[in-house]
Amino acid sequence: MITEPQVYDWLDEVKDPEIPVLSLVDLGVITRVDIGQNSVKVNMTPTFVGCPAIDYMKQDVVDVLTKHGVEKVEVNVNFDTQWNSNMISEKGRKALKDFGLSPPPKHNLIVDIDILEHAECPNCGSTDSVMKTPFGPTACRSIHHCNSCQETFEQFKPL
């Protein structure tokens, strides 16, 4: 019999294709799993509506669960739960930081310019930084400059 913790454990192997240290579970995009007789239905929600990685993630979920012997895997991408960056777990935040990407600050679901301006530099830990642009190399990243160590860094942007 498959259990829910077991499925979440398996899904921890599936990483974000653009940030390969962060699992989909820690990213918070797995919103629900429904377990049947040797079948699993995974509900997912995209970080950004236009995220081009969502199809890869879907396929990876199918591949990993199939590898663990689940006969029927269904992945349902929907907006029943809307993703926001507070849904990234503590483990995920640490993984982001170790990867060199500043984790998004926790917020009250209203992102304003003040939140964006206070990114912590993942290289030296300084909060003396300035946002260069909220639009980075992917939909989920913003670009900042650290006034302490003079490095440019990216942040997983708050949403």
Partner 1 sequence: MNTLALKELLYKIADDQLILGHRNSEWTGFGPLLEEDIAFSSMAQDKVGQSQALYQMLHELGEAEPDTVAFTRNANQFHNSQFVELPNGEYDFSLIRHFLFDTAEALRFEMLTKSSYEPLSKLAKKIQGELRYHTMHANTWIKQLGSATEESISRLQNSLDEAMPYALGLFEESEFETELIKENIFAGEQALKEKWLVKVKEVLSQTQLLLPDLLSITPKMGGRKGTHTEHLQPLLDEMSEVFRIDPTAEW
What backbone phi and psi angles, to 5 degrees, belong to 51? -65, 120
Task: In angstroms, give the least distance from the CB of 150 to partner 1.
Answer: 18
Nearest Cα residue to 92 out of 158, 27, 19:
27
137 CB-near residues (< 8 Å, 6+ apart)? 154
What are 84's two structure tokens?
């926001």
Rounded to an integer, what distance in angstroms lies between the CA atom of residue 150 and that of residue 24?
A: 32
Task: In angstroms, give the least distance from the CB of 48 to partner 1.
Answer: 6
Rounded to an integer, what distance in angstroms lies between the CA atom of residue 57 and that of residue 83?
A: 15
Task: In angstroms, give the least distance from the CB of 71 to partner 1.
Answer: 26
Nearer to partner 1, 8 or 49 (CB): 49
Task: In angstroms, give the least distance from the CB of 158 to partner 1.
Answer: 10
Nearer to partner 1, 50 or 69 (CB): 50
Nearer to partner 1, 6 or 81 (CB): 81
Which residues bind to partner 1, rule: CB under 8 A? 45, 48-52, 78-80, 82-84, 109, 111-113, 132-137, 139, 143, 157, 159
